Structure 1
Amino acid sequence: MRIPLGVRAHAGTSALLVVLTAVACLLVAGLPRTMQASFDDALRRSLTEAEAVRTDLTVAGDPALPAGELHSRAEFESGDLHWRRLIPAALRPLIGPGGHLSAKTYRTPAGGTSGIRTFVNLGWLSDAARRVDWVRGRAPGEPSTMRYRGATIPVIEVGVVEEAVARMGLRVGQTRMLGESVHTAAKIVGVFRAKDPADRSWSHDADVLHVTRVVPTDGPEELHTTTLMSDDGLSALTNKARTLTYRWVLPLDGRAASALEVPDVEAAVAEFQRQVDVQGTGTTGYRMVTGLPQLLAGFLAVLSAAQTVMYLVLGGLFAVALGVIALAGRLLTDRMERTLALARARGAALWQVVAAGAALTALTVGPAALAGYALSFLLPGPVLPIVHLGPAVVVVIAVASAVVRLVLAHRTPLRERRADLVTVRPSARRVTVEALVVVLASAGAYLLRARGPSGTAQQDPFLLLIPVALTLAAALITLRCYPYPLRLLVRLAARGRAAVPFLGLTRAARERSVGALPVLILLPALSLSVFAAVVHDGITTTQRLASWQKVGAPIKLTSVANIPPDAIERVRRTPGVEKVALALTGRVQIGATGEWPYAVAVDLAQWRRVNEDAPISLPALSGGTSALVSPALGSRGAFEIRWLSPVRLTAQGVIDAVPGFYSSGQFLLVPQEVLPWPAANTLLIKGDIPPAELARLVPSATVETQEAALAAIRADPLTGTVRTTMVVVMVALGAYALVAIVLSLAAGADGRARAVSLLRTLGLSDRQARRLTLLELLPVVLVTAPVGMALGMGLPAALGPGVDMSAFAGGLPVADHTPGLLAPVALAAGLGLCAVFGAYVHTAMSRRRNLDAALRVGDP
């Protein structure tokens, strides 16, 4: 048999198989690449947006003896080279050039103050020259000495930040005595400010850039600041008071991170920490300080949830695509059946017939697979093994299905067979296997709900297999139950006087074996498509709810100090502002226990009017002295708080969160009436006004909006990838379902056309012919579509406890899986329209058949 001649003879079917194969290979090779690229983007974003103090690797050294002290920049730089040599190979690409070296004292008391205790720490930064500007005085120089209490002590020239001048009374020319038992003099010679306060490296040195206020539970208020000295000042910096710490900061370059390498990076960080721990000597102890392991562990937990959902839907999409390709390959082999049967009858061996059909299939799908594979390289992302393996699997499955089909069809020459029997008794073994699949799927779904999340960041095979088992069980049940309603319909149609319903349903019953593969394709396609739509809608709804929970109002204006009444009135009169609710937040003390929870005093009635269209509900308080407390405060009766004035409250109940304010820890919500006078540091606003305008009206305030919070949640790369993948899979699976309907139409086209032509000789009209064809196709759609949609709507509920989708919804659990009507109705309408359109097209094509020829070749 000539293979190119076979391709030419079946050009239409071959072209369809080429398109399906190319699209499938593009999806299976391209979607994982884009998915992995989004994983990498999410990791890089999380590392670059996190504070440098959490991502960088910091080696801290505490000198215990004078022999371990460092007194020059060269000694620090030598230590930096030493630590870099110890970095494991897997971690080296992520460590950026340069570095940040520092030496600081901590809790160094300064004399000459009363009331508020002040602590002026001595500090040295290796890169201070590029990070600060000297706005008053001069940069520090060399140290000197002076006599103090009969002893010679060092005098170190230092500079202080502008904030320390204003809050701690430090000024240029002032000399402060530091220490208690061991004294050092600090001479202030200059005042500095940061060149770029937003520079990430300042997170390591926030004590240098800002004054820290500490309120101990058993002492007066404390103010801490860290000064800057020159390289020469290191020669006089000692650890006699045991308050000195050295730090070598190895900066992490998050732009070079890859999600695939996270496990190796975690292991490398643990190994580097072990190396640092064993470097300690009797003179200096070393430890590593970093939040990188916690960041990576959190990312892996989110990544695991994203991978589980996307592998599930992409795996289902791949399986459906393979099924459609197998159905198209079956159509091609059916078109070749007469030719191959004739060759078999004339003496061709089975292997020759099978080789001819397999070669024709391979010649059709091979170039198409290469084309789809090549097109996948136009998409961004790393080249994963599935990129190479996926197209090869498509070709192997397509050729293997053709081989199996040909072997079964041509085992013996001119073998007579009946494929249109209404009932075929299944074997006991097959019934047992199918029942076992159904029982295991049901038990697995129950165990998944009972177990909940796996609690690990690794992929959960159990979670990936249960949806497949449920889909297979639903398909088997559908195939087993499919004949019973069909028989009932045939019997009802037989009692009627019209012949078309009886003939159409009878043909549907006799072609049931041909419709088994379309059912196996349609059911997972519809179920996964509806599943993707339901999860997408659930994430979208929860994201909106999370944005409202975060802000608490359409617009929230928060000030560090009380907002003056005239400023509040200006906000009320501003065009675009519709309603304003006042709130006051702060820490209060509970008199009986001494606890210091956070409190929110708000006008609840006005707040409800501000949020009248919001998806969140606000709590209710029954009286002016009632309060709602957080679970951390526990249940209690009457208690007294000290805020602006002592107030006695009665706990009305427990509240999990106050939207826009607090969701964890100790907090309480009270009505605004408990305040002795009107006060507010937060405004909850409804209206259409630019945030910049509100910030201009209250300069000391920050402005948050619900729309901005929602945009920030949706801007996360992983969140965007999950939502986009759901949409792509939903559309692709819907398209494959329609293709399956078309292929099932084409598979029985010849027999259906012959039957219609014979019936036309008996007076069948075109309208009746269309009804006959439609009745033959509708049972597959009407039985499979409801089952597939019901399974798709039930999968989120079945998988819900096992998949934590909160990372993609602003931290809230995605519990609302109520599907919208648009996607299911669109899918059902598409399938129905496809069936109707196929009936019209088939009837139009049947008109071309010669009725005389139909009579001559018709069955007797």
Structure 2
Amino acid sequence: MSVGAAARRVRAYGGQFLLLAALTLVVTLLISGVPRLVNRLAEQGLRAQLNSEPAARRDISYTTGVVTVPANKPATLSARERFDALAAGMPSQVRSAVNERWYNVDAEATRVVGPDLAARNMLVDLGLRAVPDIKEASTLVEGAWPSETYVPDRPIEVVLDVDVAAKLNLRTGSQLRIGRVDVTKELVDDSPLVVVGLFRPVDRTGGIWDGLPSMLRITDPAGDGEPFIATGAVASSTLDKRAAAGWSVRYNWRYRLDVDSIDARKLDQLIDGLQESQRNKPADLSLAQGVDIPLRAFAAQVNAARTLLAVIAAGVLATLAGLIVLAATLATRRRRSEFVLIRARGGGATAGARRSLAESLLVVPVAAALGWWLGTLFPGAPDPSTPYAVAATVLVTLALPLATLAVPTGGAARRDLVRMRPSTRRLTVELFVLGLAVLAAVLLRRRGLTLGEVDPLLVSVPVLLAIAAAVLALRAYPWPLLLVSRLAARTRGSVAFLGTARAGRSAVAAPLVVVVLAIGTAAFCAVVAAGVDASRDRAAEQIVPADAVIRGERFAPDTVDELGRLSGVRAVTRLLYGSDEQLAADELGTSPRLGETAVLLVDGPGLATVARESGLDLPLPDALRTARPEPGPLPAIVAPEVAADLAKAGLDRSAFISVQGQRYEFRVAGSEESFPLLSANTSRFVILPWQALPARNTTPVATSLLVAGDRLDAEALRRAGDQGQLRYQQEGAVTGQERPIGVVVDTRADVRRDLGDGGANGVLAFGFVAGAAGGSVLGLLAIAFTVLAGARARGQVLSRLRTLGLSRRQWRGLLLVELAPLVGVSVLTGALVGAVLPLLLNPVLGLSAFTSGMPVRVAFEPGLVAAVLALGVVALGFAVAVEALNNRRLRLGEVLRLGEES
């Protein structure tokens, strides 16, 4: 069979092959391009998340305690040798991500005295640090760098940051003495020290300055009579000699991971490498690193997003596969007479298939290669998806020959008549599909899955359920149409009767399955997206059950009134949170050995008021809301785990818990899985009603404040909170010495925005948008195939009816009545599948990673009904337009003249 003849047939049937080529191009484009785009979005999310963290969070820091260095080996040389050895000993996946590294040797901070310090009556401890590469990272403002040549009896030469020196009243040439302080506050073992220069960092945010204590800042005194602490840089030779003389030193080696060197596809390997570094660290070193925390959180999100994308991709690719089958079937149906003629002229059973294969080979591989190349233009790192593209190309190439083999070789037949009683073979296949779908769904729920991996069972369940639902719809929808047709037969006019009768006999099994797959994928994305969005709202309400929360150490009692006077504030209530409190069996503190428990004191009526003023429907237990001061134990809401422990120990009616040094008796009045203001991973807690606490000499002090109001000024709330902490410290019975840490103000709006932004939310949003849009577009295309599948038979009927006097208006009405049941059933069945799939798959998708641990609940959404109705109207209008366009192209009069099989 010549290539030229095959090329002429491809040209003759160009429209059919163009459609097949377009579908092939889309398939390989998705296989090639979507993984790249997903990887790109994951990389962007990872960069954004890590860059939002302090840069020092990415440090892997090895430190020693205060050690004495042997006199036979310089301290800085030992540090340098171990610096390289620690880097070489890191797991390869960690070592490859390190792009910056520093080390330093510190002499312990000791007292310095001198005329310039005495002029301002300043008490200062100065640490000496040998920092390699400090000259490249800073600019000398005045003076000189410390000499690397050690000269006995020469004063210790030190350089200081220019701002630090100004605050300490030091300058180039300042003469000091450094030494230890004995019990009488006298300086002993002192040595002369001189400031030989002042420097300014080239980049104050550079990692070389992140060592603790910082060389660029002064540590304020811990209390009255305590010194300021500063750090200056000295030459390595100077520190070596001081260490050899018996000064204690401390080593620090820091390795910083580069954000751009971390591959989002290999986060699990990097996290495992960090764990291995922790396990295999040298016994004499301490290892500190915090980068694994954001990496784990991001990896959980990426794995959940990839799992969801696998479900969406399964639906989209299955829909495309169905469209390819429909395209091949329509193409062979239009050429049925050609293949029958080949057999009648003595051709073999596979003659037509060989002809179709030659034609496919001219079209499909070229379209597949073009689609693959277009996919490579997408930004992002590729995935090993070439085998999938090759397999898809082979299957699409074989689709047309296989469809040709299925062409019946008998005479003409009425294909619009469907027997109400199907054959045994067909019933067996349909029952097998139904049973397989149920079995796969049960196995998936019982077995679970590993997030982030393409699980064959996971990707097959949505497809099987959609096919099963379509089979049930095919079996069910002709019966009500038959009843409607009988009722329409008793009315005047033929449009309703003919339309419902033909709709009930329409043979559209395969097209209907494809429509259900497409619409089900779109509905699944819409339902899950709505569930995640609602769960984020609940998570924000759980974290901040008000308009804003102020978290601090301890607030003066009048802070509530001060906040109430601020502009826009409508209500304020107090809270107290304590972690790792001990349960007791009696007031003496007898331990029942039940483990540590978090305790939360809430003012029930105040919390209810704040939640109501914030527009929240907070389900507050009656035991907390209505509790009053009464003799006996306090009613408490506890976690189920705590309730079980107390019941087992016989303490559920009377137990004690410590709150800021005071023990309060409580009884279990109820249990809750979670409670607002408690993190999702808090599994042990006791909640007490503040308003019902018995009178004591010492009253609890609030550690958090909830605020309800309009247009709240976060900075004003922060200032009021800081002032409240300061008043508590200065006006209490015991005045604190240390400055309180500044308060943290979180608004519910900010928390909700953070939950929806950053991390792998870009990947999740892409999956939802692509799945919903792609499913809707492919659903409309599948409806077009459904219409075209019966277009020839409808054209023949309409041509006859037009010759019998059917008007153009009646013709449009007949089309509408005939197509409406088919389109309506397919869209509604797809929407039902899309609504049921989240209920089945939600427990195994791990979407709580995007909702701060809040379980994602998939519930009925009224908006989905409106969307389905709108999609149904659009689909029906599209179907009628396709039918009208096809009839205009076929010219109904010619259809009637050419006969049944034209």
Q: Structure 2: how far apart are the matches of 1:547 and 1:457? A: 26
| TM value normalised by structure 1 | 0.78
Matching residue's letter, 1:423: R
1:671 partnered with 2:690:
yes
* RMSD between aligned residues: 5.3
Per mean C-alpha deviation after superposition, the further-off stretch among 473-482 and 631-640 is 631-640
Please, which of 256, 265, 280 is the counterpart of residue 261 of structure 2? 256
Q: Structure 2: how far apart are the matches of 1:57 and 1:224? A: 28
Q: Structure 1: how far apart are the matches of 2:107 and 2:856? A: 47
SS at match of 1:830: helix
Q: Structure 1: how far apart are the matches of 2:273 and 2:884? A: 69
Task: Give the direction of change, closer, same or farther, for the CA distance of 1:254–1:564 in structure 2 (3 Å limit).
Answer: same
Task: Give the direction of change, closer, same or farther, for the CA distance of 1:845–1:466 in structure 2 (3 Å limit).
Answer: closer
Please, which of 13, 21, 30 is the counterpart of residue 27 of structure 1? 30
Matching residue's letter, 2:841: L
Q: Structure 1: how far apart are the matches of 2:93 and 2:270? A: 6
Structure 1 unaligned residues grouped into runs of 5+: 111-117, 147-153, 167-171, 216-221
**1:150 is matched with which residue?**
none
Q: Structure 2: how far apart are the matches of 1:489 and 1:239? A: 105
Deviation at 1:492, TM superposition (A): 5.2
Q: How does 1:281-300 map to 2 (within 5 A)?
A: 285=284, 290=289, 298-300=297-299
Assess if the C-alpha contact under 8 Å between 2:569 and 2:708 holds in 1. yes
Please, which of 612, 615, 627 is the counterpart of residue 613 of structure 1? 615
Q: Structure 1: how far apart are the matches of 2:403 and 2:767? A: 34
**1:113 is matched with which residue?**
none
Deviation at 1:527, TM superposition (A): 1.6
Deviation at 1:856, TM superposition (A): 4.5
CA deviations 1:187-231 (Å, max 9, x no partner) are 89799999788767777636997979999xxxxxx9998966744
**1:746 is matched with which residue?**
788
Q: Structure 2: how far apart are the matches of 1:188 and 1:831? A: 89
SS at match of 2:382: coil
Assess if the C-alpha contact under 8 Å between 1:155 and 1:184 holds in 2. no
Please, which of 772, 778, 782 is the counterpart of residue 814 of structure 2? 772
| TM value normalised by structure 2 | 0.75
Matching residue's letter, 1:398: V
SS at match of 1:98: strand
Task: Give the direction of change, closer, same or farther, for the CA distance of 1:704–1:372 in structure 2 (3 Å limit).
Answer: same
CA deviations 1:72-91 (Å, max 9, x no partner) are 32331222223333445544
Q: Structure 1: how far apart are the matches of 2:267 and 2:529? A: 28
SS at match of 2:709: strand
Task: Give the direction of change, closer, same or farther, for the CA distance of 1:104–1:538 in structure 2 (3 Å limit).
Answer: farther
Q: Structure 1: how far apart are the matches of 2:483 and 2:61? A: 76
Assess if the C-alpha contact under 8 Å between 1:554 and 1:705 holds in 2. yes
Q: Structure 2: how far apart are the matches of 1:851 and 1:561? A: 86
Q: Structure 2: how far apart are the matches of 1:711 and 1:77? A: 46
**1:790 is matched with which residue?**
832
Please, which of 672, 695, 706 is the counterpart of residue 748 of structure 2? 706
Deviation at 1:740, TM superposition (A): 0.9
Deviation at 1:540, TM superposition (A): 0.8
Task: Give the direction of change, closer, same or farther, for the CA distance of 1:203–1:331 in structure 2 (3 Å limit).
Answer: farther
Assess if the C-alpha contact under 8 Å between 1:313 and 1:532 holds in 2. yes
Matching residue's letter, 2:867: A
Q: How does 1:549-564 map to 2 (within 5 A)?
A: 549-560=542-553, 562=555
Q: Structure 1: how far apart are the matches of 2:880 and 2:76? A: 86
**1:466 is matched with which residue?**
461
Assess if the C-alpha contact under 8 Å between 1:178 and 1:185 holds in 2. no
**1:219 is matched with which residue?**
none
**2:101 is matched with which residue?**
98
Deviation at 1:52, TM superposition (A): 6.2
Task: Give the direction of change, closer, same or farther, for the CA distance of 1:680–1:380 in structure 2 (3 Å limit).
Answer: same
**1:547 is matched with which residue?**
540
**1:205 is matched with which residue?**
212
Q: How does 1:616-635 map to 2 (within 5 A)?
A: 616-619=618-621, 620-625=624-629, 626=634, 628=636, 630-631=638-639, 635=652
SS at match of 1:205: coil
**1:218 is matched with which residue?**
none
Task: Give the direction of change, closer, same or farther, for the CA distance of 1:64–1:7 in structure 2 (3 Å limit).
Answer: same
Q: Structure 1: how far apart are the matches of 2:688 and 2:206? A: 37
Matching residue's letter, 1:751: A
Task: Give the direction of change, closer, same or farther, for the CA distance of 1:5–1:493 in structure 2 (3 Å limit).
Answer: farther
Assess if the C-alpha contact under 8 Å between 1:141 and 1:157 holds in 2. no
Per mean C-alpha deviation after superposition, the further-off stretch among 29-38 and 622-631 is 622-631
Deviation at 1:682, TM superposition (A): 3.1
Please, which of 427, 430, 435 is the counterpart of residue 431 of structure 2? 435
**1:604 is matched with which residue?**
606
Assess if the C-alpha contact under 8 Å between 2:653 and 2:666 holds in 1. no
CA deviations 1:120-176 (Å, max 9, x no partner) are 9977463695899999x9999999999xxxxxxx999999999xx99xxxxx86744
Q: Structure 2: how far apart are the matches of 1:450 and 1:845? A: 49
Deviation at 1:662, TM superposition (A): 6.0
Q: Structure 2: how far apart are the matches of 1:366 and 1:34? A: 24
SS at match of 1:684: strand
SS at match of 2:100: coil
Deviation at 1:34, TM superposition (A): 1.2
Deviation at 1:337, TM superposition (A): 3.1
Deviation at 1:30, TM superposition (A): 2.2
Q: Structure 2: how far apart are the matches of 1:601 and 1:478? A: 54
Task: Give the direction of change, closer, same or farther, for the CA distance of 1:555–1:793 in structure 2 (3 Å limit).
Answer: same
Q: Structure 2: how far apart are the matches of 1:127 and 1:848? A: 82
Task: Give the direction of change, closer, same or farther, for the CA distance of 1:353–1:443 in structure 2 (3 Å limit).
Answer: closer
Matching residue's letter, 2:606: L
SS at match of 1:812: coil
Deviation at 1:538, TM superposition (A): 0.7
1:682 partnered with 2:705:
yes
Q: Structure 1: how far apart are the matches of 2:854 and 2:251? A: 41
1:408 partnered with 2:406:
yes
Percent identical: 25
SS at match of 1:409: coil
**1:719 is matched with which residue?**
761
Q: Structure 2: how far apart are the matches of 1:606 and 1:493? A: 60
Query: How many residues are matched?
Result: 817
Q: Structure 2: how far apart are the matches of 1:647 and 1:397? A: 72
Assess if the C-alpha contact under 8 Å between 1:140 and 1:159 holds in 2. no
Task: Give the direction of change, closer, same or farther, for the CA distance of 1:838–1:429 in structure 2 (3 Å limit).
Answer: closer
Q: Structure 2: how far apart are the matches of 1:568 and 1:628? A: 27
Assess if the C-alpha contact under 8 Å between 2:177 and 2:190 holds in 1. no
Assess if the C-alpha contact under 8 Å between 2:819 and 2:879 holds in 1. no
Deviation at 1:579, TM superposition (A): 0.9
Matching residue's letter, 1:686: G
Q: Structure 2: how far apart are the matches of 1:176 and 1:673? A: 55
Matching residue's letter, 2:76: R
Q: Structure 2: how far apart are the matches of 1:781 and 1:102? A: 77
Structure 2 unaligned residues grouped into runs of 5+: 113-122, 169-175, 591-595, 644-651, 723-741
Q: Structure 1: how far apart are the matches of 2:700 and 2:61? A: 49
Q: How does 1:527-542 map to 2 (within 5 A)?
A: 527-542=520-535
SS at match of 1:423: coil
Deviation at 1:477, TM superposition (A): 3.4
1:579 partnered with 2:570:
yes
1:820 partnered with 2:816:
no
Assess if the C-alpha contact under 8 Å between 1:323 and 1:521 holds in 2. yes
Deviation at 1:805, TM superposition (A): 0.8
Task: Give the direction of change, closer, same or farther, for the CA distance of 1:853–1:32 in structure 2 (3 Å limit).
Answer: closer
Matching residue's letter, 1:443: L
Assess if the C-alpha contact under 8 Å between 1:553 and 1:660 holds in 2. no
Matching residue's letter, 1:446: V
Q: Structure 1: how far apart are the matches of 2:685 and 2:221? A: 21
Assess if the C-alpha contact under 8 Å between 1:157 and 1:187 holds in 2. no
Please, which of 516, 519, 522 is the counterpart of residue 523 of structure 1? 516
SS at match of 2:572: strand
SS at match of 2:379: coil
Q: Structure 2: how far apart are the matches of 1:425 and 1:677? A: 78
Q: Structure 1: how far apart are the matches of 2:455 and 2:129? A: 49
CA deviations 1:612-642 (Å, max 9, x no partner) are 4125444543234456455387656475756
